[in-house]
Amino acid sequence: MTGFAAFRPVLSLFWRAQRGRLLLGAALAGLTLLAAVALLGLSGWFITATAIAGLSATGAIGFDVFRPGAGIRALALLRTGGRYGERLVTHDATLAVLAALRERLFRGWAAPGAARSLLARPARLLFRLTADVDALDGLYLRILVPLAGLLAVALGSGLALGLLHPAL
């Protein structure tokens, strides 16, 4: 087994057990990244616009700072809330899947036939078992969720640019 085929059993385990939470976590990760990109764009525009408006007295008086400032605050809160929700949902789903996996593995080790191999090298096998399960923790949280967020930002940014300038 090489490449992506090695991850199929693990991914199917995650997908079967916590499909709704995993999709919600990926959606929240995408929303968080989109809010971060929008926050960067709006705050950059706001800084540039205030600099230009400050060049003349009439521009400085007529420039509205409240609406862009409110947008910046709203996007910052959306980014913070989205990150919190994403962490809460994805960690809850991951820990639930890993708890079920640990239970299945330890039930397998409790079987009568497995006791002989466990008695030969108990510490090594137990360490290997728990290390392998702990490695699965990072698969979803550190690889799949950021990848889903990246795809959401790429598609969202491409759609927004296409709507702003159809010739692109």
Q: How far apart are CA 81 and CA 39, in angstroms?
A: 14
Residue 70: inside a domain: yes
Q: Note the pLDDT of residue 102.
A: 81
Residue 4: inside a domain: no
pLDDT exceeds cutoff 60 at 45? yes
Residue 146: inside a domain: yes
Residue 33: inside a domain: yes
Cα distances from 50 to residues 40, 62, 67, 107, in angstroms, run 15, 11, 13, 65
Q: How far apart are CA 143 and CA 134, in angstroms?
A: 14
Greatest C-alpha distance within the chain? 86
Residue 10: inside a domain: no
Confidence of residue 38 (pLDDT cuts 50, 70, 90): very high
Residues 114 and 108: beta-carbon distance below 8 Å: yes
**Three-state DSSP class for residue 13:** helix
Q: Note the pLDDT of residue 77.
A: 98
If we measure between CA atoms, which residue out of 32, 3, 156 comes closest to residue 90?
32
Residue 66: inside a domain: yes
Report the number of distinct structural domains present in the chain. 1
Q: Note the pLDDT of residue 144.
A: 83
Residues 66-119 pLDDT 10s: 999 999 999 999 999 999 999 999 999 888 888 888 888 778 777 777 766 666
- The reported pTM is 0.78
Residue 124: inside a domain: yes
- Domain carrying residue 54: 20-157
Residue 92: inside a domain: yes
Question: Among 25-39, 55-69, 91-105, 125-139, where is mean pLDDT lowest?
Answer: 125-139
Angle at 146 between CA 29 and CA 70, to 5 degrees: 35
